[in-house]
Amino acid sequence: MLIGGSPIQSFTDGTTESDIADAVYEDIVRAALTSSRWRFATTQFQLNRLDDTPIGRWDSTYQLPSDSLMINAITVQDLPIEYNIYKDKVYNNANATDEVIADYIYRANESSWAPYFYAWCSVLSCFCVCSITSKGCFFICCYGSASKCSVNKKLEG
């Protein structure tokens, strides 16, 4: 379409273009979502304090929400606090009585995406797909929805 590939009807229509789009789509979306603090994909969650005691530096451990892609802030009484993230946990020095809130980016459904985000995904997708393959470059560009994708053939390089 835009760069010489054929349009696809879905990620599962059996073409080379759809196979490539299906393989890289979710990684590209997650990379685009974590590239900025997109308001349409930001939410807050009161973290659950865990019984695990950190080995050093921090006094408390909290469980990150399972849908978090990127933490923007950890706050207590609307004030940012210092913290570190290890695996799926947040370590900090909050007191047991504190309400610890995470502001974070989550995997927003396509229906809630802002129009400018589609454009950003298309730019990022062309870059990401080219950079992740070792046997040459594939480019995928999506505009508007997953059904409006085009992928060109492999460019030997």
Statement: residue 74 has pLDDT above 50: yes
Closest Cα to residue 110, out of 65, 69, 146, 71? 146
Collapsing DSSP states into helix, strand and coil, what is residue 96? coil
pLDDT of 150 reads 46
Statement: residue 155 has pLDDT above 80: no
Q: pLDDT band at residue 129, thresholds of 50, 70 and 90? A: very low
Query: Residue 73 has which token pair?
Result: 């802030």
pLDDT of 122 reads 65
Q: Which of 104-121 are b and which e, b meaning 16 or more Cβ less than 10 Å from the residue's Cβ?
A: bbbebeeeebeeebbebb
Contact partners, residue 21, CB within 8 Å, separation at least 6: 8, 11, 140, 142, 146, 149, 151
What's the one-letter identity of residue 23?
Answer: A
Statement: residue 62 has pLDDT above 60: yes
Statement: residue 141 has pLDDT above 80: no
Tell me the per-residue pLDDT of 83-128, one tens digit each, with 9 for 90 and over: 999 999 999 999 999 999 999 999 998 888 888 887 776 665 554 4
